[in-house]
Each structure stands twice: as structure tokens, then as C-alpha cells.
């Protein structure tokens, strides 16, 4: 196995750092999947058991000036590495004014993802900082656990309001309850609400877009047929996980799609020109 990539453009270095930072704020451990065309940050827990799923895809051509990899074999030309994204963030934070950054798979007593950062200095001398991030190579027999999550039929798909506005609302609500009811319909309406024995608080958004085509959503959801457009699909979710999701965004997505399967699962799809992130959140049973 072999992997080596080089980032030169400072904008690409900073954007790559923001993407990894977003992932690190959502999960402690993930699998980095390396293919010839893209990098993927993956977390695959069983949603039905209360876990979350994350699928973040970065086309390598949008970030790397040089990119080379050889997988396990010619037939299985991929690499799967279990790692802590926070460790990668720490390495990249030294690179925000770097001339270039190299990321490569090495073996130093154990497998590592080595990050080399060429920092600017006075005069003609160069200063290269090296970070070795421990990784675990995922055996091929386990690869099937890290495939792109299957997307079910949803009842409602809606483009969310500005993340900053929603984050401020949820931050206030999380002091009132441990869970939040998220509901939306096919008429452009979205509601977030909390209810306790003492208080009931609800915020309504109207005139939002219900994506129905690839132009609207990039990857449109498969919607249940014959669902009443005025009926609200609901999902009760962990309010702290939702607040963490909202506050962790560093990539400034152009759109965030919320797909709801009534009382089953919520699927968030963050879109940008050069990165996409899917986040599956389980529904709480009360």
C-alpha cells in the first residue's frame, strides 16, 4: 500500500483543514478511505441502536496538486485507515501559512499518516515540521462495513434556514430539554420545538425550499409517494448532538438539506462545490 498527496495552494490547505475540523467536532474516531479519485471520512454506527453515521467525501482533484496511491491490490485499489481526526487537525493547524503540505502513509514502528509542513522562514532556509499520526489499517474483510450508507425513502425533504440562526435557537433550547422535536412538511415549513412539564417553546420557519430535482439538492432524496404535502414528518432527536452538529460546521456549505423519515431517522446533507457531508441522526423514542 502506498499513499502520498501534496497540497500547495494556501486556500486548499485552509479549506482542507476546515473540513477535517468539522469532522473532528462530530466524532472522535473515524475511518479514512483513500481511493484514486477521493478521500472519505467515515463513521458507521448502527442508527437503529442509537448511533450516528457520517459520510464525508472530498474529491482529491479539488485539494491536491500531487496525488498518488496504490491500494491493497489491483482489484481492491483502496486503503482504509482508522484514525482520530483531531490528531490530523492538530497537525494541520501548523500549516495555515505553509508553502506546502504533504500527507503520506508511512511505517514508523507502526503505521502512521505522516504530515510534513514547509513553513516560511526569514532568508533562504526552510523549516519542515513533521507530524506522525498513528493509524490502524482496516483489513479488507471489514471494508463492507464502511460503504456509503443506504438512503431510505423519506417523507419530507427541505432546505434548512441559515445554520447560524438555527444554531442560536437550538443553543437556547438545549438548556430546557434533552431532546428536540424537528418537523417539516412539503409546503416549505420547518419547526423546531422543545416541551417539558414547565414550558413549551417552538420556532417556525416558512417559505423554505422543498427540493424536488437534482438542481435543487445535488442529490435529491427518494420521497414516499402519496404523502400529504401539508402533513408534518417528525423526528425527536438528541438536542446536544444536534447542537454539536450545528456548531461544528467550518465548511460554510452552500446548502444544507434535511430529510426526515417520520419517527425513524433524520438525514442531513451538506453541499459545497468541493465537499459533501452526510450525517444520519437516530430518532429518540420517548
pLDDT 10s digits, 103-145: 999 998 899 999 999 988 766 677 899 999 999 999 999 999 8
Report how far apart, in Å, the C-alpha atoms of 190 and of each of 25, 84, 244 are.
25, 35, 20
What is the pLDDT, as a whole number, of residue 213? 53
* Same domain (yes/no): 165, 119: no
**Helix ranges (DSSP H) in the chain:** 10-26, 85-92, 163-173, 214-217, 239-247
Instruction: Flag whether pLDDT at 47 surpasses 70.
Output: no
In this structure, is residue 92 part of a structural domain?
yes
Does the structure show a pLDDT above 50 at 223? yes
pLDDT at 8 over 90: yes
Of 146, 181, 212, which residue is a domain's last?
Answer: 146
In a domain, 121, yes or no: yes
- CATH code assigned at 12: 3.70.10.10
221 pLDDT above the threshold of 70: no
More confident residue, 253 or 35: 35
For residues 77-94, average pLDDT: 95
CA dist 178 to 10, 70, 196, 235, Å? 41, 46, 10, 14
Q: Please report whether residue 36 resides in a domain.
A: yes
Domains identified in the chain, total number: 2
As a whole number, mean pLDDT of residues 224-248 equals: 91
Average pLDDT over residues 71-87: 94
Cβ-contact 112, 86 below 8 angstroms: no
Q: Are residues 61 and 126 in the same domain?
A: yes
Tell me what percent of the residues of the chain surpass a pLDDT of 70.
93
Instruction: Tell me, yes or no, whether 132 and 170 share the same domain.
Output: no
Beta partners for 200? 195
Residues 7 and 141 in one domain: yes
pLDDT-derived band at 151 (thresholds 50, 70, 90) equals confident
Three-state DSSP state, 168: helix
* Domain shared by 139 and 160, yes or no: no
Look up cell 424537528; give the residue.
182
Residue 151 within any structural domain of the chain: no
Q: Could you tell me which residue, 4 or 284, shows the higher pLDDT? A: 4
Is residue 225 in a domain?
A: yes
Residue 47 lies in a domain: yes
Instruction: Answer whether residue 218 shows pLDDT above 80.
Output: no
Residues 113 and 195 grouped into a single domain = no
Q: Are residues 138 and 205 in the same domain?
A: no
Residues 119 and 216 occupy one common structural domain:
no
User: How is residue 84 written as a grid cell?
Assistant: 482520530
Residues 142 and 164 in one domain: no
19 and 78 together in one domain:
yes
Helix (H, G, I), strand (E, B) or coil at 144: helix
- Boundary of a domain, candidates 81, 111, 146: 146
Of the three residues 95, 112, 146, the one that is the final residue of a domain is 146
If asked whether residues 163 and 131 sit together in one domain, one would say: no
138: domain range? 2-146
Q: Please give the model's pTM, rounded to 2 decimal places.
A: 0.88
Sign of CA dihedral 256, 249, 143, 102: positive
Amino acid at each position: 500500500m502506498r499513499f502520498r498527496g501534496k497540497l500547495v495552494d494556501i486556500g486548499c490547505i485552509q479549506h482542507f483543514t476546515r473540513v477535517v475540523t468539522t469532522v473532528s467536532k462530530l466524532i472522535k474516531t473515524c475511518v479514512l478511505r483513500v481511493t484514486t479519485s477521493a478521500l472519505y471520512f467515515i463513521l458507521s454506527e448502527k442508527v437503529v441502536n442509537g448511533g450516528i453515521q457520517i459520510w464525508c467525501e472530498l474529491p482529491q482533484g479539488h485539494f491536491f496538486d500531487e496525488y498518488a496511491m496504490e491500494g491493497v491490490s489491483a482489484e481492491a485499489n483502496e486503503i482504509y485507515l482508522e484514525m482520530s481526526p483531531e490528531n490530523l487537525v492538530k497537525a494541520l493547524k501548523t500549516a495555515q501559512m505553509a508553502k506546502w503540505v504533504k500527507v503520506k502513509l508511512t511505517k514508523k514502528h507502526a503505521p502512521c499518516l505522516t504530515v510534513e509542513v514547509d513553513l516560511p522562514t526569514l532568508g533562504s532556509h526552510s523549516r519542515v515540521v513533521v507530524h506522525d499520526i498513528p493509524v490502524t489499517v482496516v483489513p479488507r474483510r471489514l471494508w463492507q462495513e464502511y460503504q456509503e450508507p443506504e438512503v431510505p425513502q423519506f417523507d419530507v425533504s427541505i432546505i434548512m434556514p441559515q445554520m447560524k440562526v438555527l444554531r442560536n435557537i437550538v443553543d437556547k433550547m438545549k438548556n430546557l430539554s434533552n431532546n428536540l422535536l424537528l418537523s417539516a412538511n412539503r409546503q416549505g415549513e420547518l419547526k423546531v420545538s422543545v416541551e417539558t412539564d414547565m414550558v413549551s417553546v417552538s420556532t417556525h420557519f416558512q417559505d423554505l425550499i422543498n427540493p424536488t430535482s437534482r438542481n435543487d439538492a445535488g442529490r435529491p432524496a427518494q420521497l414516499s409517494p402519496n404523502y400529504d404535502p401539508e402533513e408534518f414528518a417528525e423526528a425527536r432527536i438528541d438536542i446536544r448532538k444536534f447542537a454539536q452538529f450545528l456548531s461544528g460546521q467550518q465548511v460554510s456549505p452552500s446548502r444544507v438539506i434535511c430529510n426526515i423519515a417520520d419517527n425513524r431517522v433524520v438525514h442531513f446533507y451538506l453541499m459545497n462545490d468541493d465537499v459533501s457531508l452526510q450525517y444520519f441522526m437516530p430518532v429518540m423514542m420517548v
